[in-house]
């Protein structure tokens, strides 16, 4: 009975039987038309003595026969159309990717050639990227003069996004240690179980310090079969950078110094790809391209279960039609 009352997912296996409702509609129309056009068997000059006469009990309830017939025929049509309650279940099998975002937070990342600056623009596109990868495990590593794991790879993207939002310049020793940033990111992926391991490394400088050389970090990445997408961020030429002076924060034009050959070598050595971002729009487009290149495989198998609901309608039809015939030939039997 519970299935009968659940009409959230009801379909009809044989809807063509609803055409049988047309004769029922015609029958209702004909009955109402017949009542309007009844010709009196006896003509009287006045009805003043009859209009106060009450209709007898049986005559008053005689239209019930027609109502029972209509209900029975309508229920029969619905039963023949075979209403079914469908219950769909899905088995989702995902083969995710393990990703680490390695983000440069050195002093030059506050340059204002991006709006509002490089580091804030990088955080904004990283948050959008995370939202587009709901089934992947993603982590966050920051680096400048040294490296630090802000968030291990996790499927809890809310925690990850909170950590991305807190990234800022000055959290660790200043400088640029690309080798340390890459090595730490690889370390986060050493025991990852995803279909593939990916690092998105973004920097705007040249490696100038750190305990691990970028070439050594590259060999480590290759050993663990980690693919690295490198992003060189910053305009070509010069950029405005806020600098702390005894007179307060002053904005100065400084030369953009980016080691593109190194970033290309790291990407090529790990079967990745190098990108150059010169403004907010191009940076956002790069993350979209990486999103397309690294697709997670999601297999969805659907199962549909049907529960037949015709029996209650068939029962109503039989009861109504049987009751109509029984009353017609007993209680409401006409004497001709």
pTM (global) more than 0.75:
no
Q: Which two tokens stand for residue 162?
A: 């909170």
Handedness of CA 18, 23, 26, 31 (dihedral sign): negative
Tokens representing 228 are 């690295």
pLDDT tens readout for residues 145-192: 999 999 999 989 999 999 999 999 989 999 999 999 999 999 999 988
CA distances in angstroms from 156 to 187, 195, 199, listed in the order given? 20, 18, 18
DSSP characters over 71-82: HHHHHHHHHHT-
Please indicate whether residue 46 or residue 272 has the higher confidence score (pLDDT).
272
Q: What is the dihedral of CA 179, 184, 188, 194, to 10 degrees?
A: -10
Q: Per residue in 67-81, pLDDT tens? A: 888 898 898 988 898
Q: What pLDDT, on a 0 to 100 scale, did the predictor assign at position 146?
A: 94
Q: CB of 252 within 8 A of CB of 243? A: yes
Mean pLDDT of 257-264: 92
194 DSSP β-pair partners: none
95-to-128, 132, 294, 300 alpha-carbon distances in Å:
21, 15, 12, 12
For residue range 219-235, list pLDDT tens digits in order. 999 999 999 999 999 88
Residue 278, pLDDT above cutoff 70: yes
Compute, in degrees rounded to 10, the torsion defined by CA atoms 232, 233, 236, 240.
-150
From residue 279, alpha-carbon distances to 256, 284, 285 in Å are: 14, 9, 10
The proportion of the chain whose per-residue pLDDT surpasses 90, expressed as a percent, equals 43
Sign of torsion over alpha carbons 204, 205, 210, 214: positive
Report d(CA 333, CA 59) in Å as an integer. 11
- Alpha carbons 30 and 26: distance in angstroms, whole number: 6
**Residue the block writes with tokens 């009542």:** 35
Can you give the pLDDT at residue 54? 55
* Distance from the Cα of residue 102 to its chain's centroid: 27
Binning pLDDT at 50, 70 and 90, where does residue 256 land? confident
């Amino acid at each position: 009975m519970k299935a009968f009352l659940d009409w959230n997912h009801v379909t009809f296996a044989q809807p063509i039987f609803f055409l049988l409702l047309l004769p029922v509609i015609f029958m209702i129309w004909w009955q109402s038309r017949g009542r309007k056009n009844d010709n009196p068997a006896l003509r009287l000059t006045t009805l003043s003595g009859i209009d106060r006469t009450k209709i007898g009990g049986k005559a008053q309830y005689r239209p019930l026969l027609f109502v029972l017939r209509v209900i029975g025929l309508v229920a029969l049509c619905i039963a023949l159309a075979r209403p079914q309650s469908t219950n769909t279940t899905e088995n989702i099998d995902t083969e995710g990717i393990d990703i680490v975002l390695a983000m440069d937070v050195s002093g030059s990342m506050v340059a204002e050639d991006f709006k509002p600056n490089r580091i804030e623009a990088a955080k904004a596109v990283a948050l959008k990227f995370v939202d587009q990868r709901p089934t992947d495990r993603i982590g966050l590593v920051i680096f400048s003069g040294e490296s630090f794991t802000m968030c291990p790879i996790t499927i809890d993207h809310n925690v990850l996004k909170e950590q991305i939002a807190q990234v800022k310049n000055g959290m660790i020793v200043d400088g640029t240690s690309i080798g340390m940033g890459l090595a730490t990111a690889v370390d986060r992926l050493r025991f990852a179980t995803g279909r593939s391991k990916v690092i998105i490394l973004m920097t705007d400088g040249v490696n100038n310090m750190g305990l691990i050389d970028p070439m050594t970090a590259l060999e480590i990445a290759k050993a663990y079969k980690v693919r690295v997408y490198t992003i060189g961020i910053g305009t070509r030429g010069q950029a405005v950078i806020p600098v702390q002076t005894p007179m307060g924060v002053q904005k100065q034009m400084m030369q953009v110094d980016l080691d593109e050959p190194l970033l290309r070598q790291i990407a090529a050595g790990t079967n990745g790809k190098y990108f150059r971002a010169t403004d907010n729009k191009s940076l956002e487009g790069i993350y979209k391209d990486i999103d397309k290149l690294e697709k997670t495989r999601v297999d969805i198998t659907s199962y549909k279960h049907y529960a037949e609901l015709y029996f209650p309608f068939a029962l109503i039809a039989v009861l109504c039609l049987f009751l109509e015939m029984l009353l017609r030939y007993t209680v409401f039997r006409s004497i001709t």
